[in-house]
Amino acid sequence: MSVARARLLIACPDGRGIIAAVAGFIAEHQGNVLDADQHTDPEHGEFFMRAEIELNGFDLTCETFDAAWTPLADSLDMRWRMNWGTRKKRMAILVSRESHCLHDLLWRWKTGELDVDVPFVASNHADWRGDVEALGIPFHYLPVTPESKPQQEAELSRLLEADAVDFVVLARYMQILSPSFVERYPERIINIHHSFLPAFAGRRPYHQAFARGVKIIGATSHFATDVLDDGPIIAQATLEVGHWDTVDDMIRKGRDLERVVLARAVRLHAQDKILVSGHKTVVFE
Amino acid sequence: MSVARARLLIACPDGRGIIAAVAGFIAEHQGNVLDADQHTDPEHGEFFMRAEIELNGFDLTCETFDAAWTPLADSLDMRWRMNWGTRKKRMAILVSRESHCLHDLLWRWKTGELDVDVPFVASNHADWRGDVEALGIPFHYLPVTPESKPQQEAELSRLLEADAVDFVVLARYMQILSPSFVERYPERIINIHHSFLPAFAGRRPYHQAFARGVKIIGATSHFATDVLDDGPIIAQATLEVGHWDTVDDMIRKGRDLERVVLARAVRLHAQDKILVSGHKTVVFE
Amino acid sequence: MSVARARLLIACPDGRGIIAAVAGFIAEHQGNVLDADQHTDPEHGEFFMRAEIELNGFDLTCETFDAAWTPLADSLDMRWRMNWGTRKKRMAILVSRESHCLHDLLWRWKTGELDVDVPFVASNHADWRGDVEALGIPFHYLPVTPESKPQQEAELSRLLEADAVDFVVLARYMQILSPSFVERYPERIINIHHSFLPAFAGRRPYHQAFARGVKIIGATSHFATDVLDDGPIIAQATLEVGHWDTVDDMIRKGRDLERVVLARAVRLHAQDKILVSGHKTVVFE
Amino acid sequence: MSVARARLLIACPDGRGIIAAVAGFIAEHQGNVLDADQHTDPEHGEFFMRAEIELNGFDLTCETFDAAWTPLADSLDMRWRMNWGTRKKRMAILVSRESHCLHDLLWRWKTGELDVDVPFVASNHADWRGDVEALGIPFHYLPVTPESKPQQEAELSRLLEADAVDFVVLARYMQILSPSFVERYPERIINIHHSFLPAFAGRRPYHQAFARGVKIIGATSHFATDVLDDGPIIAQATLEVGHWDTVDDMIRKGRDLERVVLARAVRLHAQDKILVSGHKTVVFE
């Protein structure tokens, strides 16, 4: 039986005694640190920490925590967030024609492997409506043309707001979201790119990999930023290929990488295990 | 430029507030926790922690630490050790005829990759005397027969004591050390076994792997215990093989695994990053 | 557009000129070898070959091939089979409560990744009837008790015959099939075992792996034989775990291995790329 | 005991009956194909083949082979080469300050793992003279400045000719060879680049990788061409890194990749297992 626990995430300038200060604060309030990870980025002198706090006995609540915590947080110049674990994160999925990532995420969601709710799936194609609705998940068909993109993105934004979505997964969504859309959701859009970035950014990476004659292919999950395929990388994986592999073989083999690498990023994000540090991620596993 | 730092390792029954207590103690004495890892073994209710402490400003020393720390340590029923970082660990190497692990360790030592001193290399064959002595390291030729084993191990023990050796690496040493010898050096003998244990324990593991027709081979570094190939595992790695690989191919490919897996264990041990928990290891990387 | 091609598989005592004899025979009959693989097992002096033959222009047919080919085959003491590629292999799936392999195989079948037909899925639990039937595949609920096992296996045999099943996949089917049943389907039952065999054969391999403290876990697909978890290995894969992984983490991570390793074996078998050589497999990829 | 064998390598336009023609020719002359690999590049309609021929009984020799073989070779428009296995390939090594690849190659050479002779090692630094000469291998110190590069390369060419060198290995040679030099040795210069190309070509790839925040690093061995880091890739490997890895950690971990990936390329090339197809390699393992 698991105990109720909150997750505290901290980023601040590096300095002496931060762990002692944070652990001391929590102990003072009858909390217990069940799990703590920290990282110091020596390049930028920044300190990162994630702590899981046992709530049984903790004398602070969602209502009273801020007032008690803020003096310490401010004195150390922290950016921080506290997840009280009272609700699952709400994840919307965007997909186009290739469905392997969609089906994989839905299967993991259904079997309880991902600790999220899925308020809806949206697509610029109607193909997957049946599979999605059969699981009791609303499906939104949002076709798009170059002309209609502003309206389509506006409609998507409306849906994200209406359903209180926490983050969006681009599960092989083959439309490029506009920079203005992406900027509205910092660290809240997770994309899967079908290459080991930064190699083969852009379109048709398996075709690029085939043309270059690489002996390994890969997949990369990352936060989307306004620069295409350039956001902070969350997870990557690779596998070996050979001269006998056609582009279609690479596409087939790569699907297994993409599924695993995207699911890993989603799982990490759902558990508040990713902190963004400039152009990179700190991943506390 | 790196700062002087000590390493504190702790194992104790799990409980509330341990991190806060430890970090608080260190802060109280003007130390700074640079890096902390901890792990709770829920099966046995045991808590493990490793902390690197910045010594600049710390008001305790090698002489005064124990008296200050013991009350807290005892109240939490800790097993603990403190490495003040004032000397490198002293590593003796035992080897037989296969030299790839020996040469690899010596190369890493020479290039400064392993933070150890090497007081001597010993072998039941004289083959590598030249290579070892050329590096300025003493070489002891300790031939052994079933009859002379007790004397040979006694001589080895004498050398280990005389040179204040901290730990011994069995770099493909093909003699089985007696249980009574091994018991005298708990968590201080690191062995490399050329299979992914527990598969293919015992003799000629590549021949066993070939006979079984496995599609992966592996290597395992572990602490030696009085049961052969059964000690706590420190690191493992595997690679793919196929029907085209002969036993000799496996042996050749395996050498690359063995070198890396053994070097990894040595490096972790030299940095006090391994804690033994019953029949397992906790490895803080 | 792919050309019609047949697959010829050969095993025979090693000797001079076998490739020339086979390739010559095919050329003489206006066939073309599109792809050829061969392997010599030096231990047993056995030669293995797989050739894909372009049928366009080939002057032999299903009806006339045997008479023309037999003299050569007999003179070289061959075991052989010829797959004319006129029908897909028929694969039945057995499953119990854990469905990740079943769902994965069905998804790959549905998207055309596996070149098989699926005449039915059978299970000792009724749980997956809905998911299977929704895809238009018959589902047979075959409950079993120690007492009813002979009847259950008889019913299963009847279904396999009635549906002209070519091979059976045990997709985490947690019942041990009787040796007499298994013997009836040599090289026609593919199992997935959730460890890197021969380590952790038998029940609850992840629990065994956790207890031993390994740093890698694995999965193994193999042909079932009358000795449990001992048949010829087709494919294996491994991934790293650590002290922080609970048994449940291992089970979760292992699911991704199992899915990929089982699908790989099925794909290879569907394409006649596996030849059994004693206790091992020759896999022509 | 291994039998005398020659290696025949063929590239020609794809067509019907090539395998039969080649295997037939060899059988006709009482040779025996011990091992054959072939590959068809469907993109360019090119066929590649490598055959190992048992020479015991073969009625052609180095002197008579060409006349007998040429009519067939010409009729199929082949590029081909025959290695009679009468001498080992001669490999020169170039190195700069980082010696891990040099030491690794020399260790593999000394233990017989690489089937090559090493006529000399050359370097733009004198550091490794002692280690090289201790193995009985001549060492040439070839310092270089931007001004002296033409003369230095002329001297290197002279040495390569004088020692009948077959191929050159750039074992972390940090000077860029001039295009005119490289062009003189097509498919005869093997380089190791310390990234998973095409990512991070050029200088300081680990620094680039660190800056980008990738979660995997890699190494690539390839034939050098006149475009830097762009030649046909022979072998690649990758390993996982994390936010805790500094640039120095990446450099250290990467050394183990580089050693293995370079040794693999050298071994393949020494055994005539690499065929170049345009901008790619066909690797027959």
CB contact under 8 A, A54 and B20: no
Domain extent, residue B14, equals: 5-83
pLDDT higher than 90, residue C191:
yes
Q: Show pLDDT as tens, one digit a residue, over chain D (285 residues).
A: 467 899 999 999 999 889 999 999 999 999 988 888 999 988 889 999 999 999 999 999 999 999 999 999 999 999 999 999 989 999 999 999 999 999 999 999 999 999 999 999 999 999 999 999 999 999 999 999 999 999 999 999 999 999 999 999 999 999 999 999 999 999 999 999 999 999 999 999 999 999 999 999 999 999 999 888 999 999 999 999 999 999 999 999 999 999 999 999 999 999 999 999 989 999 998
Q: In this structure, are C116 and C250 located in the same domain?
A: yes
Minimum CA–CA partner of D274 in chain A: A243
Q: In this structure, are C145 and C261 located in the same domain?
A: yes
Residues of D with CB under 8 A from a CB of B: 99-100, 103, 107, 111, 113, 134, 244, 252, 256, 260, 285
How far does the CA of residue A227 sit from the closest CA of chain D (Å)? 14
C229 among known catalytic residues? yes
Of B104, B166, B229, B272, the active-site residue reads: B229
CB contact under 8 A, A27 and B40: no
DSSP type of residue C88: P
CB contact under 8 A, C111 and A134: no
Best C1, C3, C5, C16 residue to mutate vs chain D (most D CBs within 10 Å): C16
Q: In this structure, are C236 and C276 located in the same domain?
A: yes
**B83 contacts B7 by C-beta, under 8 angstroms:** yes
Best C111, C127, C285 residue to mutate vs chain A (most A CBs within 10 Å): C111
How far does the CA of residue A157 sit from the closest CA of chain C (Å)? 31
pLDDT of residue A2: 60
H-type alpha helices, D92-236: 100-110, 129-134, 149-162, 179-183, 205-212
* Chain B contact set for A23 (CB, 8 A): 17, 19-20, 23-24
Q: In this structure, are A65 and A138 located in the same domain?
A: no
Measured between alpha carbons, how far is D170 from D175 in angstroms, rounded to an integer? Answer: 9
pLDDT of residue A42: 82
CA distances from B116 to B187, C176, D48 (A): 17, 52, 51
pLDDT of residue D228: 87
Partners of residue D94 on adjacent β-strands: D122, D170
CB contact under 8 A, B233 and C214: yes
In this structure, is the dihedral angle defined by the CA atoms of residues D266, D268, D272 and D273, taken in order, positive or negative?
negative
How far does the CA of residue A40 sit from the closest CA of chain B (Å)? 8
pLDDT higher than 80, residue C268:
yes
Structure tokens at B224: 């030696």
Structure tokens at D145: 């400045």
CA distances from B14 to A53, B35, B213, B279, D42 (A): 15, 20, 44, 18, 63
Amino acid at A181: F
pLDDT of residue A1: 42
Of A24, A34, A38, which has the smallest distance from its Cβ to B20's Cβ?
A24
pLDDT of residue B228: 87
Question: How many domains are contained in chain A?
Answer: 2
Closest C-alpha among C179, C157, C167, C175 to residue C231: C179
CATH code of the domain covering residue D44? 3.30.70.260
- Against chain C, the chains showing at least 3 CB pairs within 8 Å are A, B, D
* Chain D contact set for B111 (CB, 8 A): 99-100
Measured between alpha carbons, how far is D49 from D33 in angstroms, rounded to an integer? Answer: 12
Q: What is C3-23 written as a DSSP string?
A: PPEEEEEEEEE--TTHHHHHH
Q: In this structure, are B161 and B276 located in the same domain?
A: yes
pLDDT of residue D82: 97
Which of C33, C66, C83 terminates a domain? The answer is: C83
Amino acid at B266: V
Measured between alpha carbons, how far is B193 from B203 in angstroms, rounded to an integer? Answer: 10
Q: In this structure, are C232 and C138 located in the same domain?
A: yes
Of C229, C248, C249, C272, the active-site residue reads: C229
Which of C56, C83, C110 terminates a domain? The answer is: C83
Residues of C with CB under 8 A from a CB of A: 99-100, 103, 107, 111, 113, 134, 244, 252, 256, 260, 285
Which residue numbers in chain A have pLDDT < 70?
Answer: 1-3
* Chain D contact set for A283 (CB, 8 A): 215, 242-243
Report the predicted TM-score, pTM, of the whole model to 2 decimal places.
Answer: 0.96
How far does the CA of residue B241 sit from the closest CA of chain C (Å)? 10
Closest C-alpha among C29, C158, C10 to residue C78: C10
In chain B (285 residues long), the average pLDDT of successive 10-residue segments reads 83 93 94 89 91 93 96 97 94 97 96 95 97 97 96 98 98 95 96 97 96 98 93 98 96 97 98 94 94
CATH code of the domain covering residue C272? 3.40.50.170
- Against chain D, the chains showing at least 3 CB pairs within 8 Å are A, B, C
Q: In this structure, are B44 and B169 located in the same domain?
A: no
**C74-108 residues labelled b (16+ CB within 10 A) or e (exposed):** eebebebebeeeeeebbbbbbbbebbbbbbbbbbb
**D168-207 residues labelled b (16+ CB within 10 A) or e (exposed):** bbbbbbeeebeeebbeebebbbbbbbbbbbbbbbeeebbe
* Chain B contact set for A19 (CB, 8 A): 19, 23, 33, 36
Residues with Cβ within 8 Å of B16's Cβ and at least 6 positions away in sequence, in order, are A27, A32, A54
Walk across the sheet containing A32-41 and list its strands: A32-41, A46-54, A5-13, A79-83
CB contact under 8 A, C20 and D26: yes
Residues with Cβ within 8 Å of D74's Cβ and at least 6 positions away in sequence, in order, are none
Structure tokens at A57: 């006995």
Q: In this structure, are A193 and A269 located in the same domain?
A: yes
In this structure, is the dihedral angle defined by the CA atoms of residues C130, C132, C136 and C137, taken in order, positive or negative?
negative
* Chain B contact set for D238 (CB, 8 A): none
Percent of chain A with pLDDT over 90: 91
Q: Which residues of A have a catalytic role annotated?
A: 229
Query: What mean pLDDT value characterizes chain C?
Result: 95
Structure tokens at D181: 């030099």
Angle at C194 between CA C191 and CA C199, to 5 degrees: 105
Partners of residue C281 on adjacent β-strands: C276
- Against chain B, the chains showing at least 3 CB pairs within 8 Å are A, C, D
Q: In this structure, are B64 and B162 located in the same domain?
A: no
CA distances from A256 to B235, C196, D234 (A): 27, 20, 24
Residues of C with CB under 8 A from a CB of B: 39, 41-42, 196-200, 211-216, 218, 232-238, 242-244, 246, 277, 279-283
**B47 contacts B73 by C-beta, under 8 angstroms:** no
Distance of CA B237 to the CA centre of its chain: 16
Q: In this structure, are D69 and D113 located in the same domain?
A: no
pLDDT of residue B129: 97
Q: In this structure, are D257 and D121 located in the same domain?
A: yes
Which of B46, B65, B83 terminates a domain? The answer is: B83
* Chain D contact set for A280 (CB, 8 A): 212-213, 243
Measured between alpha carbons, how far is A25 from B76 in angstroms, rounded to an integer? Answer: 20
pLDDT of residue C2: 60
Q: In this structure, are C23 and C156 located in the same domain?
A: no
Count interface pairs A-B at CB distance under 8 A: 50
How far does the CA of residue A169 sit from the closest CA of chain B (Å)? 31
Measured between alpha carbons, how far is D59 from D72 in angstroms, rounded to an integer? Answer: 17
* Chain C contact set for B233 (CB, 8 A): 212-215
